[in-house]
C-alpha cells in the first residue's frame, strides 16, 4: 500500500502540460490549471517516453522476420493483453482490439455487430444521460432506441432509474437487443450501476454494451469473473485520449463468441488467411481478424503503458483519491451562493467521478468559461458537452422555452447562449490546489459579475469575447513556425 501511494504521488506530477504558462487578461503570466480532463486528459510522461523509446524499433506489425518487426509485434500484442487484464476480461472469452481515435468508432462498430448478432431483436435501451456517441450510433444502426429516465433526488437527477429500466425490458421483452449505458456521465460524473444493469439485461436475453470513455482512467472495471456470470459485461469501449495518451486509439473489449459469429465489420490486410480472386477466408485468430489494415502501433503501446502504470498504483486507490477530491470540490462549490451544481451532489447516494457541471446564476455559461480562462487561467469546457438531451433536462426550468419548443428544430441563437453549463473535470494529476483555485475564481466571478460582464461582447456565433484582450495564440504555438525553427537549426 505504501509503495502504491508513493507511485501515485510521483506519477501525479509526471504529466506533460502541468507547467504550461499563459498570459492572462491582467497581464500576469501564470500556470494553466487544467480542469478539462473529461474532454481529453493530459499526457502521462511514462507513456510518452515509452512511445519515444519504441520509435528506435518502429516497424510494421505485419512484417515478420526482422528484429524491429518482432519487437513492434511483441509489444503490440502485449498492449492487447494488458488492456484485457486491466478491465478484468477473461482472455479465453474476450478479445481487445483498437479502432479509430476514440470511443465513437468503437460504439458505431459494436452497434452494427450487435444488430447482426441478434437480428430478430430491434429495440435498444439507452439512458437519458448518454453522450451522443452512445446514443446516435444505436439510432442509426441498431433500430428503435428507447431512452430511460434517471432517478430523481429532490429535483436533481441521479443515475439510471432501475425500475423504469425493468419496466421497459418487460414492455418490449424479446425485442430488446441490448442496453447501451455509460459507466460514468461526462456531464455530472454520476456513476451508473453497470453490473446490476448487466444482470437485468441478461435476465431478458439482452446484451449490455458499456461506454467506458469516462470510466477507464477513473475507476476499476470488472468485465468478467463475477460470481453471478450474468453480471459480466458483454462489450466495453474506451478512449485512449481520455486515458492519458493523446493520439492513441480507442479500445474495444468484446466477447469473442459474438464477434466470431459473423464476418468482421472491416476487411483488408492483416485479417485474412487466404485471398484468391474469387474468394477469401478470414482468420479465426483474435484480435487480428478485427484489425484490418496497419494499426496505430505507437498509440496502442502508449495506451497500454499508461494503463499498466495506473494498474501498478491500483485503480481502487486512484478512485478513492478522486472521490475525495470530487467530494471536496462539491462541498466547496455548494457553499458558494449564486452557483448551482447539476445532478445529485451527495456522493453517498450517487457516487461521482471526474466531472462537475454548474452555472453561475444570472450569467451565461460561455461568459463564465471565458472569464475563468482569461482572468484565472483555468481551462474548463462549457455548452452541452455532446449530451444535449441530458443537459436540457437539467436546465429546462431555467430556460424560457417549453419542452415542445426545445424538441422543435428551429430555436433562435439565444437558446445556444442560454442552454448549457460549465464543466470542471479532473484527472489523476488534479490537486486540492486546483480545486481551491477554481473556488477562488468562482467567488471572484460572483462578486464582480457586472464588472466582468461589461468587459465582454457576445458575438453572433454565441461566443463571448473580451473587448480588449485578444491574445494571439498562434504566437504561443504554431506548427509552421515550429517547422521553420526546426529546419533553421538543422
Ligand atoms: C461518456 C462519453 N462517451 C463517448 C465519448 C466519445 O469519445 P471519443 O471522443 O473518444 O470518441 C465521450 C467523449 O467525451 C464521452 O465522454
Confidence of residue 463 (pLDDT cuts 50, 70, 90): very high
CATH label of the domain that carries residue 140: 3.40.640.10
- Please check whether residue 40 lies inside any domain of the structure: no
Among the listed residues 242, 428, 442, 244, the one whose alpha carbon sits nearest the alpha carbon of residue 325: 428
Q: What is the DSSP string of 277-308?
A: SS-EEE---TTGGG--S---HHHHHHHHHHHH
In angstroms, what is the span from residue 102 Cα to ligand 1's centroid? 7
In angstroms, what is the span from residue 186 Cα to ligand 1's centroid? 8
- Please check whether residue 13 lies inside any domain of the structure: yes
Atom of ligand 1 nearest to the CA of 239: 10
- Predicted confidence at residue 400, as pLDDT, reads 79
Atom of ligand 1 nearest to the CA of 241: 10
The percent of residues above 70 in pLDDT, for the chain, comes to 99
* Residue to mutate (ligand 1; options 133, 238, 355; most atoms within 8 A of CB): 133
Q: Is the pLDDT of residue 411 over 80?
A: no
Q: Is the pLDDT of residue 308 over 80?
A: yes
Confidence of residue 417 (pLDDT cuts 50, 70, 90): confident
> 270, 294, 312 — which closes off a domain?
312
- Mean pLDDT, residues 360-376: 97
Is 222 found in the same domain as 333? no
Which residues surround ligand 1 with Cβ inside 6 Å? Answer: 102-104, 131, 133-134, 182, 186, 211, 213-214, 239, 241, 250
Return the DSSP state at 42: P
Q: Is the pLDDT of residue 48 over 90?
A: yes
Average pLDDT for the chain:
95
Is 228 found in the same domain as 84? yes
Residue bearing the bigger pLDDT, 309 or 417: 309
Q: Is the pLDDT of residue 44 over 80?
A: yes
Residue 282 is part of which domain span? 48-312
Atom of ligand 1 nearest to the CA of 103: 11
Pairing of strands 29-31, 464-466: unpaired
- Predicted confidence at residue 423, as pLDDT, reads 98
In angstroms, what is the span from residue 146 Cα to ligand 1's centroid? 20
Q: With H, G, I as helix, E, B as strand and everything else as coil, classify residue 411.
A: coil
Is 54 found in the same domain as 9? no
- Please check whether residue 36 lies inside any domain of the structure: no
> 293, 312, 331 — which closes off a domain?
312
Is 380 found in the same domain as 291? no
Is 383 found in the same domain as 239? no
- Please check whether residue 38 lies inside any domain of the structure: no
Q: Is the pLDDT of residue 285 over 90?
A: yes
Residue with cell 424538441: 407
Rg of the chain taking only CA atoms, in angstroms? 24
Is 412 found in the same domain as 336? yes
Angle between helices 67-86 and 45-54 (to 10 degrees): 150
Half-sphere exposure of 276 (CA within 13 A, CB side): 3
Give the number of domains in the chain: 2
- Predicted confidence at residue 345, as pLDDT, reads 92
Is 375 found in the same domain as 263? no
Residue with cell 485578444: 470
Is 251 found in the same domain as 184? yes
Is 217 found in the same domain as 190? yes
> 291, 312, 333 — which closes off a domain?
312
pLDDT for 132-181, tens place per residue?
999 999 999 998 999 999 998 888 889 999 999 999 999 998 999 999 99
pLDDT for 205-260, tens place per residue?
999 999 999 999 999 999 999 999 999 999 999 999 999 999 999 999 999 999 99
Is 280 found in the same domain as 146? yes
- Mean pLDDT, residues 272-295: 96
Confidence of residue 399 (pLDDT cuts 50, 70, 90): confident
Is 318 found in the same domain as 302? no
Amino acid at each position: 500500500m505504501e509503495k502504491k501511494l508513493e507511485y501515485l504521488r510521483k506519477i501525479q506530477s509526471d504529466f506533460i502540460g502541468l507547467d504550461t504558462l499563459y498570459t492572462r487578461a491582467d497581464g500576469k503570466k501564470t500556470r494553466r490549471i487544467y480542469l478539462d480532463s473529461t474532454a481529453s486528459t493530459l499526457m502521462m510522461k511514462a507513456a510518452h517516453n515509452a512511445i519515444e523509446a519504441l520509435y528506435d524499433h518502429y516497424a510494421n506489425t505485419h512484417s515478420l522476420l526482422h528484429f524491429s518487426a518482432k519487437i513492434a509485434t511483441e509489444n503490440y500484442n502485449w498492449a492487447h493483453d494488458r488492456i484485457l487484464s486491466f478491465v478484468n476480461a477473461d482472455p479465453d472469452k474476450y478479445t481487445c482490439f483498437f479502432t479509430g481515435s476514440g470511443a465513437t468508432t468503437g460504439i458505431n462498430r459494436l452497434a452494427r455487430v450487435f444488430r447482426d448478432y441478434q437480428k430478430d431483436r430491434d429495440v435498444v435501451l439507452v439512458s437519458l444521460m448518454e453522450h451522443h456517441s452512445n446514443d446516435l450510433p444505436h439510432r442509426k444502426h441498431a433500430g428503435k432506441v428507447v431512452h430511460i429516465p434517471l432517478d430523481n433526488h429532490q429535483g436533481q437527477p441521479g443515475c439510471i432509474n432501475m425500475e423504469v429500466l425493468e419496466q421497459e425490458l418487460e414492455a418490449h421483452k424479446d425485442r430488446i437487443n441490448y442496453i447501451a449505458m455509460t459507466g460514468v456521465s461526462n456531464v455530472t460524473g454520476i456513476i451508473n450501476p453497470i453490473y446490476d444493469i448487466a444482470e437485468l439485461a441478461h435476465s431478458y436475453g439482452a446484451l449490455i454494451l458499456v461506454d467506458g470513455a469516462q470510466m477507464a482512467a477513473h475507476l476499476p472495471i470488472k468485465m468478467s469473473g463475477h460470481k453471478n456470470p450474468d453480471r459480466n459485461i458483454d462489450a466495453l469501449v474506451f478512449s485512449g485520449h481520455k486515458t492519458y495518451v493523446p493520439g492513441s486509439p480507442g479500445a474495444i473489449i468484446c466477447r469473442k463468441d459474438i464477434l466470431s459469429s459473423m464476418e468482421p465489420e472491416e476487411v483488408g490486410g492483416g485479417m485474412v488467411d487466404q485471398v484468391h480472386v474469387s474468394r477469401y477466408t478470414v482468420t479465426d485468430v483474435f484480435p487480428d481478424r478485427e484489425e484490418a489494415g496497419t494499426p496505430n502501433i505507437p498509440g496502442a503501446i502508449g495506451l497500454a503503458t499508461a494503463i499498466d502504470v495506473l494498474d501498478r498504483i491500483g485503480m481502487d486507490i486512484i478512485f478513492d483519491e478522486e472521490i475525495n477530491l470530487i467530494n471536496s470540490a462539491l462541498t466547496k462549490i455548494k457553499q458558494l451562493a449564486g452557483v448551482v451544481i447539476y445532478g445529485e451532489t451527495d456522493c453517498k447516494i450517487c457516487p461521482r467521478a471526474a466531472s462537475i457541471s454548474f452555472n453561475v446564476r444570472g450569467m451565461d455559461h460561455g461568459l463564465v468559461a471565458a472569464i475563468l480562462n482569461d482572468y484565472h487561467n483555468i481551462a474548463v469546457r462549457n455548452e452541452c458537452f455532446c449530451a444535449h438531451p441530458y443537459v436540457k433536462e437539467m436546465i429546462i426550468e431555467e430556460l424560457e422555452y417549453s419542452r415542445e419548443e426545445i424538441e422543435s428544430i428551429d430555436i433562435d441563437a439565444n437558446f445556444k447562449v442560454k442552454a448549457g453549463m460549465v464543466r470542471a473535470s479532473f484527472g489523476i494529476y488534479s490537486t486540492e490546489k486546483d480545486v481551491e483555485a477554481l473556488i477562488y475564481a468562482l467567488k471572484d466571478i460572483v462578486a464582480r459579475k457586472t464588472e466582468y460582464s461589461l468587459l465582454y461582447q457576445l458575438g453572433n456565433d454565441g461566443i463571448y469575447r473580451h473587448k480588449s484582450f485578444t491574445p494571439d495564440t498562434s504566437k504561443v504555438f504554431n506548427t509552421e513556425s515550429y517547422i521553420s525553427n526546426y529546419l533553421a537549426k538543422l
